[in-house]
Each structure stands twice: as structure tokens, then as C-alpha cells.
Amino acid sequence: MAPRDWQAWHDDYDIPGSPLARRLEAVQARIREALDHARPGPLRAVSMCAGQGRDLIGVLARHPRGHEVTARLVELDPRNAAAARAAASAAGLPDIEVVVADAGLADAYAGLIPADLVLACGVFGNITDDDVERTVACCARLCAAGGTVVWTRGRFEPDLVPQICRWFEIHGFDRQWLSEPGIGYGVGVHRFAGPPQPPVPGLRMFTFVGRGQLRRREADGR
């Protein structure tokens, strides 16, 4: 089976009413709310597996606090990274940095953590459950006190969303919002209630596998 074309994957965002377009609307609404309630002054944001940056760039371009945010988008696909850079430039957002790097390495966010906003959208459905748990724990090293994590995970079976919420809460996060079950996608928002934890150089949070590969592993019993 040919590997997924992650640039083409973004095309569904442009189909009105598609699951991806509806998920994007939910994510953007949560980002707007996070900015509405964020502390005064300059803000920091980081985005894992940022793709073309549609979620964050689309909000910052229109939000009253958009120009107060310094952000780093980490994306491995250079074509998607180029699209994100072009979108940030077109939106007049010079403080958005897009880097081509492995988003699973915490070092990719050095200099912008602890952050006020952490995005883990399109990540948890493409990594192992163990890596999801590890990444949730690592969010305590990415978030500033009172920082917000916006995350997604498809509600396919087995539905990991309730467990993801428990993991966040175990690691010092308070649940702020969770999408309703039965709509095909999950969007969650957790706010960090603890003190920021120091970064660990070389820390690997996850390895991006891809949903298709995970399914094949499950079918093979691995």
C-alpha cells in the first residue's frame, strides 16, 4: 500500500460539511476561546504535526490578539510546511515560524516553551496508545501555568477519548471542553493547573506512525 499523501489529505478541509472541515471549525472555535481568556501580554503557541497550519493561522489572522502571539509550527512534510509559511505570510503574521522537523521530539519546541497554547491536532489518532499517554504527560513540560492544550482524536473504536481525558487530568490538567460523542471526531481542551516542568533535552514524546499503518499492525496482531 502506498504511503498516504499528507498534502492531498488536506484537500478535505475545502469540502464544506466534510468531517475534516467540521473538526477544523471546532478546533478554531476552541483556539479563539483560549485566546479570549489568555493572560494579558505577549503569548506563545506551539503546534505539533501542524500540517498547513489552517487551525492556528486561520484564527490568528482574525483574532484581536493574533499579533500578540509568537508561534512555532512543526511539520515534517516540506510541502505542507511551505503552504503554512505562505498562509502565514499572506495573513501578515511574521511571528509564526514554520519548521520542518520531527514533531515528536520535544527539542523542536525549544525557545517557545513553556507555551500558553499547545496544539496536538491530528496527532493522537496516528500514534500508538502508549505514545498518546507519553505525549499527554509531556504536555506538562510544554505548557506554561494556565496554558491550554487543544487536541483531537477520531472517535473510532476502540474509542480512546475518555482515557485521554483521564490521562490529562492525572497529569495536572483541568478539562475545559470536550466535543459530543457520536460525531466521528473528538476535540478536547485541557488547561494546565500545575507549575511548568523543566524541559528534558532529547526527550521523544511520540513516533508518528499513521492510522493506516496502525490498522495493519492491529490486523497482524502486533
If you average pLDDT over residues 100-118, what whole number do you get?
Answer: 97
Angle made by CA atoms 59, 27, 61, in degrees to the nearest 5: 5
The string of pLDDT tens digits covering residues 46-83 is 999 999 999 999 999 999 999 999 999 999 999 999 99
pLDDT score at 12 = 62
The identity of residue 47, as a single letter, is S
What domains appear along the chain, each with residue ranges and CATH number? 6-219 (3.40.50.150)
Angle made by CA atoms 203, 213, 53, in degrees to the nearest 5: 60
Q: Where are the beta strands (DSSP E) in the chain?
A: 43-47, 69-75, 96-100, 115-120, 143-154, 173-178, 185-192
d(CA 208, CA 194) in angstroms, rounded, equals 28
- Please determine, for residue 220, whether its predicted confidence score (pLDDT) is greater than 80: no
Helices (H), 37-175: 54-60, 78-90, 129-142, 161-170
Reported confidence tier of residue 19, pLDDT bands at 50, 70, 90: confident
Q: Distance of CA 80 to CAs 51, 52, 120, Å? A: 5, 5, 16
d(CA 181, CA 161) in angstroms, rounded, equals 9
* Percentage of residues of the chain with pLDDT beyond 90: 81
d(CA 166, CA 121) in angstroms, rounded, equals 18
Reported confidence tier of residue 2, pLDDT bands at 50, 70, 90: low
The string of pLDDT tens digits covering residues 132-191 is 999 999 999 999 999 999 999 999 889 999 999 999 999 999 999 999 998 989 999 999
pLDDT score at 27 = 98
